[in-house]
Amino acid sequence: MSDHPAILVFDSGLGGLTVLREIVKARPDAACAYVADDAFFPYGHHTEDEIIGRVVPLIGELIALQTPRLVVIACNTASTLVMTHLRASYTVPFVGTVPAIKPACASSKTKRVSVLGTKGTVKREYTQRLIQDFSQGCEVTLVGAPNLPSLAEAALRGEDVGDDAIAAEIAPCFLDGATRTDTVVHACTHFPLLQDRLTALAPWPVNWIDPAPAIARRTAELLGPPAPSGTAAPRPSFRFTSGRPALGNGVLAPFFGAQVPA
């Protein structure tokens, strides 16, 4: 077995790069392969059956092709639906990405928390259950932002994305009254791509909860201690399911610096 454990990181698009970045930091010894299912993007606009029917066989094909030691589903819209199906179908360990409602509610001082996700994620039974089980007395507002994943991708590619378009998507997160919202959960991996803009456009400062570091820690834990190696891990690889060319270094450098995916 290679000294460099192979990890497959999967998302509908570029949002999972926010998770890959943390995995690369936590496990620089790993050989990461990133697959963006851009041919089916955005997942937030598909029905539950369509997502299950798309993701479960596609992950099976990728496992057969890449034989990863572990698979990270870096997408809330998919993870809130497909994890049980994936675990029942394939023996490789999986790490999913689901809304970080428990830590958000535990840390909120005003007891007002918003969960910002795709329209699919905020509708899921899975998300409703997380709120029932872990809201810890907080008032939790679910906000589906239908355009924010595409705006985040456009901004990452260097396209001009206006403040108004972003502000309109996040506005319902901010509730004011006897108390104000003080915590917003990134329940979509695309949204931390816009973190600087979100921070600047928020009507007042809030704590934005990005689950990526916790996902990276869980990934590292499941892999076990790194094997001593005489060779550097390969750069992460990057592939779109549409077959279009991988992203240029200009897009990826802010994430990975010298470790820009090949």
Q: Of 60-68, 69-77, 176-184, 242-250, which part binds ligand DGL (CB under 6 A)? A: 69-77
Task: Look at residues 85, 82, 66, 89 and name the one whose alpha carbon lies nearest to residue 7.
Answer: 66
**By CB under 6 A, is residue 12 in contact with ligand DGL?**
yes
CB of 120 vs ligand DGL, minimal distance in Å: 7
Strand blocks (E) in the chain: 6-11, 31-36, 70-73, 94-95, 112-117, 139-144, 183-187, 207-209, 237-240
Six-digit token string for 131: 């709120």
**189 vs 211: CA distance, rounded Å:** 8
Q: Is 99 in the site for ligand DGL (CB under 6 A)?
A: no
Closest separation in Å from C-beta 119 to ligand DGL: 8
Order the strands of the 183-187 sheet from edge to edge: 139-144, 112-117, 183-187, 207-209
The one catalytic residue in 32, 105, 173, 188 is 188
The span of 135-143, 174-182, 184-192, 212-220 binding ligand DGL (CB under 6 A) equals: 184-192
Is residue 188 within the footprint of ligand DGL (CB under 6 A)? yes
Q: Within 13 Å and on the Cβ side, how many CA atoms surround 138?
A: 30
Which of 96, 149, 192, 211: binder of ligand DGL (CB under 6 A)? 149
Please give the Cα distance from 2 to 227 (Å, whole number).
9
Q: Which is nearer to ligand DGL, 138 or 151 (CB)?
A: 151
Nearer to ligand DGL, 5 or 44 (CB): 44
Beta-strand runs (E) in 100-138: 112-117
Nearest to 69 by CA among 20, 23, 6, 2: 6
End-to-end CA distance of the chain: 22
Region binding ligand DGL by CB under 6 A among candidate stretches 5-13, 165-173, 209-217, 232-240: 5-13
Judged by CB under 6 A, the chain residues 230 through 249 that form the site for ligand DGL are none
Q: Taking the complex as a whole, how short is the minimal distance between the CB of residue 261 and ligand DGL, in angstroms?
A: 17
- 103: helix, coil or strand? helix
Q: Which stretch binds ligand DGL (CB under 6 A): 74-82, 197-205, 207-215, 251-259?
A: 74-82
188 given a catalytic annotation = yes
Residues 48 and 120 sit within 8 Å (Cβ to Cβ):
yes
Q: Which of residues 39-58 bind ligand DGL (CB under 6 A)?
A: 41-44
Min dist CB 41 to ligand DGL, Å, is 5
Binding site for ligand DGL (CB under 6 A): 11-13, 15, 41-44, 75-77, 118, 121, 149, 188-190
Question: Among all residues, which ones are annotated catalytic?
Answer: 75, 188
